[in-house]
Amino acid sequence: MTTIRGAVFTIGHSTHTLDEFVALLRRHRVTAVADVRAAPYSRFNPQFKRDSLAAGLGALGLEYVFLGRELGGRSADPADYRDGRIDYGRVRGTERFRRGVERVVRGAERRRIALMCAEKEPLDCHRALLVTPALEGRNIAVAHILADGAVEPHGATMDRLLDLLRLPREDLFRTRAQLVAEAVVRQAERVGHVYEAPAAAGRHS
């Protein structure tokens, strides 16, 4: 088992049972889960509904906190969207997002934290594309717990993203940071949330 010291982890609950999910957390000595889902429920996996999950983790001695309002990948503010799709750059500039990042940074001083969302693959999820870059900007190492229990440092995850998008890992005229930033923007355009305007009052569907 690979262990990364001093890291914040991310994890997707996917279709795991609660026992399987907790086993993954235990394997990497995670002591606290920060839920970064904007909508903290799962139609097909009710064990990950916010209240059920908090109770289940608490009974096993694991802490739970909901940070979906601060760090979620969906926003109720139309200003956070560009051409109808979530703009992670705009989200990062909001005060609520900065507050959420600060809470994670402070929490990581005392706990071994995993940021949890639903997607199995970190490259399909805002936890890798939106939240992780902000944490790395605060000198927090981030690694992703994969569905099979392996742990992948975020740099390796970004290597996979560059390969996926057929971008070079090295370039004569661009730094790696610039290449990764381009890749993240392009992937966010593929998987980011699309804004759905609230139905007008009195309308029926």
Rounded to whole angstroms, the Cα distance separating 17 from 22 reads: 9
Tell me the pLDDT tens digit for each residue of 51-98.
999 999 999 999 999 999 999 999 989 999 999 999 999 999 999 999
> How many residues are listed for the chain in this entry?
205
Averaged pLDDT, 172-188: 96
Give whole-number Cα distances, 172 to 12, 164, 179, in Å. 35, 20, 11
Q: How confident is the model at residue 201 (pLDDT cuts 50, 70, 90)?
A: very low
Q: Tell me the domain boundaries of the chain.
A: 7-191
Structure tokens that stand for 155 in this block: 């740099």
Tell me the pLDDT tens digit for each residue of 12-22.
999 999 999 99
Sign, CA dihedral 179-163-187-93, equals negative
Run of H or E residues at 86: strand 85-86
Options 3.90.226, 1.20.120, 3.90.190, 1.25.40; CATH for 7-191 is 3.90.190
Question: pTM value?
Answer: 0.90
Structure tokens that stand for 13 in this block: 């609950």
